[in-house]
Structure 1
Amino acid sequence: MKKLLLLILTGIAVTAQAQQKPNIVLFVVDDMGWQDCSLPFHKSLTKQNRQFRTPNMERLAAKGMKFTNAYANQNCTPSRVSLMTGMSPLNHGVSSWTFHKDKTAGEGGDQNFDSPAWNMNGLSASPGIPNTVYASPLPQLLRKRGYKTIHAGKAHFGAFGTPGEDPLTLGFDVNIGGGGAGQPGSYLGLKNFGNNKAHSNPRAVPGLEQYWGKDIFVTEAITQEALKQLDSTGNRPFFLHMAQFAVHTPLEADNRFVQRYYDAGLDSTEAKYAALVEGMDKSLGDIMDYLERKKLDNNTLIIFVSDNGGLTDVARGQPRNQHNAPLRSGKTSGYEGGLRVPMIVYWPGVTKPATVSGENLIIEDIFTTALTAAGGSSKGLVQKVDGISIAPLLKGGKQSPDRTFAWHFPHQRAAGSPDVQPFSAIRKGPWKLIYLHKSQAFELYNTDRDISEVHNLAAAEPARVKAMAAELGKLLKAGKSNMLVDKQRGKSIPYPDEVL
């Protein structure tokens, strides 16, 4: 009898302890630019902000903290691997987006250069998989701490035919629609989300067969399925990785919202894009409504972030290369438009309502923040974690002015703006140095004074260029990051410190 009573009391204690851990919602948007919302991340509302309608982003910011200097990587898979591992791209080696096993996707445009070896198969929670980074993923760590772990939407953690293709191999208990593709075959249920009888479209959204042939957008279908999973968590805390395919191409009309943008005079492309944004925002609102209805909002950490800068040089409406202004360029570039992203955090009892931080942070910090919130630690993991907890910033603290971020993209894209080219970059405080691989030239900007990166100060600040290039070279070599290959010379271009 005493043993039975002890077991009951122990069970109650464990349940109470589990309930004290915050639920975690990581809401990741695909390709959403810094300006693609009605919530300003610049000094005031801009022309671009006025094109969009995102009341739930505004609602989340009113409850928590908005970050105006948050950074991700230049395109999707590198950021998603950083989110799951807490690693810098220089250390996880996934420097571009993954697709087919052992193949580099989306290359071309210059016969004189070639990509070096890189982890083209993405992330793996199992050792010994070629061309992957082996690490302890966030959902695996949270599951060990008692969390129900749910993935919903875009995964794109690893290439087709590798373990990382399936979110279940990374510690998720549930996978809703996630696979190896970086974009949906279609957003439309009437088109079966890209699925066909021949199963020949690798970008088709897996699962969700119950919605095939129905007039529903995949953004809505994924949200509905995620909320069903939240209803079955019992007393366990949950980790919901809500990773919408929106607002990635293909730009298909969401008929719930698109007419208002046609009526506002936007061209067809931009009207469809704005409707994708509003549909994504509705998903955020549906989740917030659920949390409030179930009285879970006071114990749920919500992190909203985009995986890279906004698309602007291809697929968007006219004029091109203006959609992220005042930031320069966009997705896949090393300029602010490619790296700076919208980010909002609400942590009950930690964040003060309607606060704004201009402190620098980077996407791998989310890993450490979420793990710390769950009572975990980055000690003893397979990987060395580069991200730090942003809890001090959420309480109004300041970042170290010496903290350094770095990026690496030794790849070529087949089409697009001249701004989109192979680069490595380093940021310290407001200063950012970009090393352009093909020309082996440097560009230096103070983004506090020159947010549009118009004035290259490399010639005026040779000592700063030399110091930052030396640090960047050291970081690249420490992470064994390979440089772009010069095919004419038959070897890699020099590291930035070697040029000077």
Structure 2
Amino acid sequence: MGNKELIAAGILLGAMPAMAAKVDKKASGKGARPNIIFILADDLGYGDLSCYGQQRYTTPNLDRLASNGVRFTNHYTGSSVSAPSRCALLTGMHTGHAAVRGNEEVDPEGQQPMPATTVTIAKLLQQAGYRTGITGKWGLGYPGSVSTPNKMGFDYFFGYNCQREAHFAFPEHLWENDRRVEYPENRNAAHETWSQEEIMSHAKTFIRSNSRNPFFLYLSVTVPHAEMVLPERHIKDFVGKYPEKPFPGNHYGRQDYPHAAYAAMVTWLDGQVGELQSLLKSLNIDSNTVIMFASDNGPHAEGGNDPYFFNSNGGYRGIKRDLYEGGIRTPLIVSWPKKVKPGQVSHHVGAFWDIMPTICDIASVKAPQNIDGVSFYPTLMGKKVQEHEYLYWEFHEMGKRQAIRMGKWKAVRLNVANPEKTKTELYDLSVDPYEKSDVSATNPEIMKKMELLFTTARTGKALK
């Protein structure tokens, strides 16, 4: 353990003495409840991992994670942007019912909070005796609101409270619980301390501090989101490998090698997944730890990034902010040694709101009744799972949009805010997974069902 990690360990242990001091002896024995690590990438597309088809760089650790567990091919995010997607993830509610349905900003720092009464995965696991932590991006409240991580079931938080602040890779401050952590060395646009290394360091310390307790870690990194700026030591091996169009900078920092930066960020994340697995093994808790890996939405085209160069959307139509497949279909990998049979590929159709009931099943915790999610735990065990009647999304930007997947059918409704321009498209994903042919005109009965669901699948917060 290096000096920086020793310092981080001291900070973390001091911030949560009860967590480090109270040991659940039963939790470290045979048949103990599993630890759960949910790793959430930021704006990583379906095709950004080599186990999902990426060919311009490799992700060996994530590929190995997939080969040791289940790789899902029909998994969807909660939304096509950060905040509503993360709300769906943590609450088991799709965006027709969730409290947060868009990226609503709060000045000077933070986003729209969830109500104080919101039930989250973290609250359920905390009540069941799990130690709960989040390191990385929050984006579901503002400092001091009723919806900070510590008030939403997390014993420990380190990272960005505000997703807008998370656009900057070398921040002047982060948060540890309710305390601002200052980085004066990053002032005046200096690039000294990279937030991602801080986030990972605290994640590892959280794991060490709770290795004898059942724990839940929500590891919410902010790569490969823009800005696409990272330490030279991580990007240098990729410079010169790809054709480049320098990005001069605007809201995001300048990047002369945006392709190299993107590949470097994903590769760095892959390496961190490998380091986490090594840490779990060294602590002798690897066989009793579930690792889930996902992304909050499709790939972005910001800060100089070109998602089409890397085929980041896996060839699917659309990117971030679209409700076409490329904006909401993303990777999901689940590994649970000695429990989940390795080498599985699942075509089960599911979404972020299924994560809550699935984690509840894994932890032997009762899930709430009034959620939209359906547990895919049986799929992990190689058994038949209950299928959704439909999946629903709504997006409150760009004229407002809705989408529904019902079996093989996918409906996308555009310009909802302007009835004169509202249009509903229909695609048969069984023969047209890339949504090239609108078949709405030849399927009137399906269209009637979809139009009804666009109204009945939601409540409150007018979408018009």
Q: Give me the TM-score of the superposition, normalised by structure 2.
A: 0.83
**Alpha-carbon deviations, 1:14-48, whole Å to 9, x = none?**
631575010000101111111112222xxxx3xxx
Kindly report which structure 2 residues correspond to 1:19-168, keeping only aligned pairs within 5 A, or say none. 20-40=32-52, 45=53, 49-72=54-77, 73-100=79-106, 121-124=112-115, 126=116, 134-159=117-142, 162-164=145-147, 166-168=148-150
Aligned to 1:112: none
1:234-273 → structure 2 map (5 Å cutoff): 235-267=212-244, 268-273=257-262
CA spacing shift, 1:210–1:385, aligned 2, 3 Å: farther
Q: Residues 273 and 150 of structure 1: is their aligned pair in 2 closer, same or farther, counting only changes over 3 Å?
A: same
CA RMSD of aligned residues (A): 2.8
Deviation, 1:215, is 4.6
Counterpart residue number, 1:6: none
**What is the distance in 2 between the residues matched to 1:292 and 1:121?**
39
Aligned to 1:411: 397
Is the 8 Å Cα contact of residues 41 and 220 (structure 2) preserved in structure 1? yes
**After superposition, what is the alpha-carbon deviation per residue over 1:426-469, rounded to whole angstroms, capped at 9, x for unaligned?**
11122111111132211001122112111000011111111121
- For the pair 1:283 / 2:289, whether they are aligned, the reply is no
For 1:206 and 1:454, the matched residues in 2 are separated by 48
SS at match of 2:97: helix
Q: Aligned pair in 2 of structure 1 residues 463, 277: CA closer, same or farther (>3 Å)?
A: same
- Aligned-residue offset at 1:399: 4.5
Letter in 1 for 2:363: A
SS at structure 2 position matched to 1:316: coil
Is the 1:211–1:221 Cα contact (8 Å) retained in structure 2?
no
TM-fit CA distance, 1:216: 4.7
Alpha-carbon distance in structure 1 between the residues aligned to 2:423 and 2:309:
26
Q: Deviations over 1:331-373 (max 9, x none)?
A: 1111001110111001234321121111111011111111221
CA contact (8 A) 2:409 2:427 kept: yes
**Residue 427 (str. 1) matches residue 405 (str. 2):** yes
1:397 equivalent in alignment to 2:379: no
Aligned: 1:207 with 2:148: no
Structure of higher CA gyration radius: 1
The equivalent of 2:441 in structure 1 is 459
SS at match of 2:453: helix
User: 1:131 maps to which residue?
Assistant: none
User: C-alpha separation between the residues in 2 aligned to 1:76 and 1:187?
Assistant: 17
Change (3 A) 1:299 1:235: same
Q: In 2 relative to 1, CA 471–325 (structure 1 residues): closer, same or farther, beyond 3 Å? A: same
Q: Is the 8 A contact 2:135 2:157 kept in 1?
A: yes
- CA distance change for structure 1 residues 368 and 324 in 2, over 3 Å: closer, same or farther? same
SS of the residue corresponding to residue 455 of structure 1 reads coil
Cα offset for 1:401? 5.3
Residue 444 of structure 1 aligns to a residue whose secondary structure is: strand
What CA deviation, in whole Å up to 9, does each residue of 1:199-229 have, x standing for no partner? 9xxxxx9527598688553222211121112
Contact 2:299 2:307 in 1 (8 A): no
Partner SS for 1:31: coil
| In 2, Cα distance between equivalents of 1:77 and 1:56 | 28
2:25 and 2:382 map into 1 onto residues whose CA distance is 32
Q: How does 1:295-310 map to 2 (within 5 A)?
A: 295-310=284-299
Determine what percentage of the aligned residue pairs are the same residue.
27
Distance 1:247 1:63, change over 3 A: same
Please give the alpha-carbon distance, in whole angstroms, between the structure 2 residues aligned to 1:315 and 1:252.
11
Pick from 26, 30, 35 the counterpart of residue 16 of structure 1.
26
1:480 is aligned, of 450, 453, 460, to: 460
CA–CA distance in 2 between the matches of 1:318 and 1:390? Answer: 30
Partner Cα separation in structure 1 for residue 210 and residue 307 of structure 2: 46
Does structure 2 retain, via aligned residues, the 8 Å contact 1:327–1:337? yes
Matching residue of 2:4: none
The aligned length equals 417
Q: 2:302 & 2:409 partners in 1: Cα distance?
A: 25
After superposition, the Cα gap between the structure-2 partners of 1:456 and 1:429, relative to the gap in structure 1 and judged at 3 Å, is same
Q: CA deviation at 1:163?
A: 2.4
Distance change >3 Å, CA 95–CA 398, structure 1 → 2: same
